[in-house]
Structure 1
Amino acid sequence: MKRLKTHTAIICSLFTASIVLYSCTTKEKANVSENKHFNQTDNWIVLDKTDATKEGHTFSWTFEVKTPSDYVLQLVSTEAYFKNNESVKIKIGAQEFEASLLKNHLINGNEIVSEFKNIFSIKNTEKQTLSITTEADFKSLRIIPHYKKPIGSGKYHQEWLAMHQSKEKQDALQRFKEAKLGMFIHWGLYSQAGGLWKGTKINNAPHPGPKVAEWLMYAFQIPREDYRALAKTFNPDKSFAENVVKLAKDVGMKYIVITSKHHDGFALFNSKHSEFDMVDATPYKADIIKELYNACLEEGIDFGVYYSHGNDWMDGSDGNYKNIKKVNDSLGIYTHPNGKNLWDPSENTHESYLENKAYPQIKELLTMLPELRLIWFDGTGFTTEAQAFQFYKLVYERNPNVLVNRRVGYAFGDYLDAGDNKIPSASETLEKYWETCGTTNNSWGYKSYDDDWKSPKELLYYFVDILSKGGNYLLNIGPDGKGHVPETSAENLRDMGKWIHQNADAVYGTTRWKTPNEGQEETLLDGTGHRAAKGFKRDFTSKDFWFTAKEHKVYAISLTQTEGDILIKSLKKGEGDIEQVKVLGSDKILSWNQNKNGLQTTITGVPKDALGYVIEVTLKNN
């Protein structure tokens, strides 16, 4: 009995680290009692075959979920009837896909749990329909939350909400909303390698995982001591901070976020809780985070730090992988190893890493940088609900003016990010303000051989698309080991910046208008790998417009050098009484006509090298 109780206690303590879900974007719910056990299976939907409506080989059910989120589908069968790689057709609401069954886990002695790779989103708590067409003899289907979208018990929600809704946080969020454009900097020891290890490109690395330069240690499974040796030669130019801030200023970026510690565990600041940092381990012998912070303050640019809290390949052990896997195996859940150091983990526990390095380093940053504006957490991994909340609360208690992004975990962030190089559709409804982080080529850290640079027009298109949908763009640079930004990257950003400075009124402090855009269908950016594989192909026409709004003005943005008559359909009669029409950057007032077809006016004098123009429409009333 004692052994059983011990086993149960271990499982209970680990459940919150897996797919147990709670969303802070749903309506406020009462706190869960401190004594109530929270089982991760509480949010599962189990559909028994015996309860299905059957038509031929198609089985159908109706069901409801407690929390809208991303889910995956699992099929439970027995050894005797399981058919490997059988093609199965699945329909969930309007979402349809076809996939093969893959044997994953054996549980309860003779049950096989097979998980489909497809992810599907359920956006409300209304009744859903699911059907599956298969000849396989199965017992049940399980709908479980996707491992990247953990939702907790809700016991911390009220306390989090009070902090999130505080005046300090909301004022900080308003400042963030008005900024619109920021600079992301991925820079560290990996920057010296330039995406290569012992002559092999990271794209040809022998191990699975992201093939972006900052994942060098992971992709080649470099032993910790071998990787630590990189610090001995990391000695960038002293002009790094000054040069980077000048570039941000030239582009029109209002805030900067730099990787103070990435997944490799190396800190760019002077830390008392690790010697694997800029001051103790490198010949540079100075705190480059403090230098960049001071340079930003001098130029009036807001400063933020990225901090990998869940992953630390140097001191974070295996990221709690083995413990989590033990529990997940018993439930038939695949434990994703991505981002975990399983080749040379440190001897400490993940819990001791948090207590002795991660939490203390966050405190150090908050103390050292009193005017810090945001902390961009990353690498959630197997961080528990309690640990994620502790990070958020720790930040708030030391400086309530600092924003926290959603990757702190369990929806405790003050704002959302759409994902790496991802832009949401105009039709999506997001419950919090959001940001997209993006690259200027196809890597975040410096990759010496990646010359697939996004043109100024492509970068501007992504920015304008994000503006029209009401978000921020955090656009990345990846300096080399000396701190130099690749020339083409800097040039393209500055060209984009010329348009931004000329059309600043249509950018800063604007909001989404009732119509985001008109013309061609949106070209969605769907991840770093998506752009790398498919490139960018889009023709811009005089009929394409994106809109932003501010007070009693609407801005119609075109990415062409149109000459002659134009028609803006979304500003037709009945969509607002127009007082004045002009082109931003010019004092000339345009003649115009508003009718049932739209707003008609004539454009002349747009420079041939311009990336586009903006029509400012002043309305008589808001």
Structure 2
Amino acid sequence: MKVKTTLLAALMLVSANLFAQQANTPESTYEPTPENLEARKHFADSRFGIFLHWGIYSMFAQGEWYLNTGNLNKDEYAKAASGFYPIRFDADKWVKAFKDAGARYITFTTRHHDGFSMYHTAEGKYNIVDATPFERDVLKELTDACHREGIDVHLYYSILDWIRPDYPIGRTGRNTGRTLKPDYPSYFGFMERQLNELLTGYGDVKAIWLDGYWDHDEDSIPFDWHMPDLYRYVHSIKPECLIGNNHHIYPLVGEDFQMFERDLPGENKSGLSGQDISLLPLEMCETMNGMWGYKVSDTNYKSASQLIQMIVRSAAKGSNLLLNIGPQPNGELPEQSLDRLKSIGQWMRHNGSTIYGTQAGSIAEQPWGVSTDKADTTFVHVLSKVDNEISFPLAAKPRNVLAFEKRTKLPFKYDKKNALLTIKLNVPEGVTDYIIRIEK
């Protein structure tokens, strides 16, 4: 994930001639296959997924950026791998917790910016099987468990690297002690080979979630990542595999969904998601606490009610919510995360039909709440205490207005002249989401 920094942008002179034979080639068009379009719909219907930031950085308990923020030498940092032994990792327990919470998919960090691969790769020994005493492919165990339980698998992959000498250095990762020999064609080939491993060795991978494009967004000479080439390569292996890129700009040709970091679509509170909203499926990613990777001092968890309302607000924008957990170095999920998952699951079992398979609400957001749509039904989600009634514009008089939980009719009146619906209701104290079913 991106971290704000005041470091001056490096001059990327070497990048000017990279892939020179293709530098001026117009960006190709992208025609998704019918299978890809169906995969997009399936993804959009899912509405809730779990993000997992896990790597050897968890050993330091300072978050996933510690190699960078701690000003560590890469060789000293790498020594953590020799002690990484997550003895309490149990893929089946993880997946059961996610499934019970109502999550429909996971996104797992196969390789973060520190360059350590959390799966058994043939591209060097710096991976969880060859570099640690654990010697187990946690990605294989996790994806197998997901496939058994019907949880979709999405894979996060960092396109920037703080340790490889052939990666052309950007705005981050300058002080890790590596020998710089920038060679982007070499690095690009490395990424292709790793993505091939991930797409062919771990069952049905539904999506690739890329991160790090912003590493060169301050270059004085524009850096060409050759994303269309990478996207074509992924789609050549698996046309239906969705591609998203956490670049904080409008989607590029070849991408299949648009993501928003720490913001609902259309908001820009974090300064990372100011881009316009596309017609692609949408996904918002957010943390339960403050960090993506495990940080021992970060216990400032959002309440279960806040997280549930985040799921609701995201769906009301026509977006999925990808909710992050940073597993501990021993392989356990933090207890605070598990507690939140249990509460979310209880709520989703009763109310998930107002979230899964819905579209952005046709009723504009109100001070007291939002709405989601499904076929000829609108679900009004009252998220804060209101007086004895609510009013909002509605194009036509509804057939029925019901309290969702008890399926009892609510008294209402419809002002045809002003196209305004008023509903009488009594929202109990402490309700996370009072849901009204409007049948059109």
Output the TM-score relative to the length of structure 2. 0.85
CA contact (8 A) 2:28 2:228 kept: no
> Could you say which structure has the larger radius of gyration?
1
Q: Does residue 432 of the first structure (1) align with residue 279 of the second (2)? A: yes
Structure 1 residue 480, shift from structure 2 partner? 0.9
Count of residues in correspondence between the two structures: 411
CA contact (8 A) 2:91 2:142 kept: yes
CA contact (8 A) 1:236 1:284 kept: yes
Structure 1 residue 422, shift from structure 2 partner? 5.5
CA contact (8 A) 1:261 1:267 kept: yes
Distance 1:387 1:597 in 2: 51
Q: Does residue 495 of the first structure (1) align with residue 337 of the second (2)? A: no
Distance 1:582 1:306 in 2: 41
The change in CA–CA distance for 1:578 and 1:429 in structure 2 (over 3 A counts) is farther
CA contact (8 A) 1:274 1:357 kept: no
The residue aligned with 2:5 is none
Q: 2:391 aligns with which of 552, 568, 574?
A: 568
Q: Does residue 170 of the first structure (1) align with residue 174 of the second (2)? A: no
Distance 2:188 2:264 in 1: 33
Report the 3-state secondary structure (helix = DSSP H, G, I; strand = E; otherwise coil) of the residue aligned with 1:391.
Answer: helix
The change in CA–CA distance for 1:440 and 1:386 in structure 2 (over 3 A counts) is closer
Structure 1 residue 488, shift from structure 2 partner? 1.9
CA contact (8 A) 2:390 2:422 kept: yes
Letter in structure 1 aligned against 2:238: N
Matched ranges for 1:202-217 at <5 A: 213-217=63-67
Tell which deviates more after alignment, 243-252 or 488-497. 488-497
Report the 3-state secondary structure (helix = DSSP H, G, I; strand = E; otherwise coil) of the residue aligned with 2:371.
Answer: strand
Q: 2:136 aligns with which of 283, 286, 295?
A: 286
Q: Does residue 253 of the first structure (1) align with residue 253 of the second (2)? A: no
- Structure 2 alignment gaps of length 5 or more: 1-12, 217-221, 269-273
Matched ranges for 1:106-145 at <5 A: none
Distance 2:380 2:341 in 1: 22
Q: Does residue 404 of the first structure (1) align with residue 256 of the second (2)? A: no
The residue aligned with 1:273 is 123
Q: Deviations over 1:410-440 (max 9, x none)?
A: 7142121123445424998512332111001
The residue aligned with 2:380 is 556
Q: Does residue 371 of the first structure (1) align with residue 204 of the second (2)? A: yes
Distance 1:10 1:452 in 2: 43
Report the 3-state secondary structure (helix = DSSP H, G, I; strand = E; otherwise coil) of the residue aligned with 1:547.
Answer: strand
Q: Deviations over 1:293-333 (max 9, x none)?
A: 11111111111110102x1122254x313xxxxxxxxxxxx
The residue aligned with 2:148 is 298
The residue aligned with 1:313 is 162
The change in CA–CA distance for 1:269 and 1:346 in structure 2 (over 3 A counts) is farther
Structure holding more strand per residue: 1
Distance 1:425 1:262 in 2: 26
CA contact (8 A) 2:315 2:360 kept: yes
Distance 1:351 1:256 in 2: 30
Structure 1 residue 353, shift from structure 2 partner? 4.8
The residue aligned with 1:486 is 334
Structure 1 residue 371, shift from structure 2 partner? 0.7
CA RMSD of aligned residues (A): 2.8
Report the 3-state secondary structure (helix = DSSP H, G, I; strand = E; otherwise coil) of the residue aligned with 1:194.
Answer: coil
The residue aligned with 2:219 is none
The change in CA–CA distance for 1:608 and 1:483 in structure 2 (over 3 A counts) is farther
Q: Does residue 546 of the first structure (1) align with residue 370 of the second (2)? A: yes
Structure 1 residue 503, shift from structure 2 partner? 1.4
- Structure 1 alignment gaps of length 5 or more: 1-8, 17-33, 39-152, 196-212, 322-336, 520-543
The residue aligned with 1:617 is 438
Question: Which of 1 and 2 has higher RCO (CA within 8 Å, sep 6+)?
Answer: 2
Distance 2:78 2:69 in 1: 16
Q: Does residue 395 of the first structure (1) align with residue 234 of the second (2)? A: yes
The change in CA–CA distance for 1:421 and 1:448 in structure 2 (over 3 A counts) is farther
CA contact (8 A) 2:15 2:223 kept: no
Distance 2:15 2:257 in 1: 31
Q: Deviations over 1:331-378 (max 9, x none)?
A: xxxxxx432334412455342652553221110001112310001011
Identity %: 27
Q: Deviations over 1:395-422 (max 9, x none)?
A: 1011111100034797142121123445
Letter in structure 2 aligned against 1:558: V
CA contact (8 A) 1:236 1:483 kept: yes
Output the TM-score relative to the length of structure 1. 0.61
CA contact (8 A) 2:102 2:344 kept: no
The change in CA–CA distance for 1:238 and 1:11 in structure 2 (over 3 A counts) is closer
Matched ranges for 1:157-196 at <5 A: 157-158=28-29, 161-162=30-31, 165-195=32-62
Matched ranges for 1:310-459 at <5 A: 311-317=160-166, 319-321=167-169, 337-346=170-179, 348-351=181-184, 353-355=186-188, 357-380=190-213, 381-382=215-216, 385=224, 387-407=226-246, 411-412=252-253, 413-421=255-263, 423-425=265-267, 430-433=277-280, 434-459=282-307
CA contact (8 A) 1:582 1:616 kept: yes
Structure 1 residue 219, shift from structure 2 partner? 1.3
The change in CA–CA distance for 1:592 and 1:349 in structure 2 (over 3 A counts) is same
Structure 1 residue 467, shift from structure 2 partner? 1.6
Structure 1 residue 168, shift from structure 2 partner? 1.9
Report the 3-state secondary structure (helix = DSSP H, G, I; strand = E; otherwise coil) of the residue aligned with 1:279.
Answer: coil
Distance 2:33 2:265 in 1: 29
The change in CA–CA distance for 1:191 and 1:386 in structure 2 (over 3 A counts) is closer
The residue aligned with 1:13 is 17
Letter in structure 1 aligned against 2:154: G
Distance 1:223 1:344 in 2: 5
The change in CA–CA distance for 1:405 and 1:11 in structure 2 (over 3 A counts) is closer
Distance 1:455 1:11 in 2: 46
The residue aligned with 1:219 is 69
CA contact (8 A) 1:502 1:584 kept: no
Structure 1 residue 446, shift from structure 2 partner? 0.5
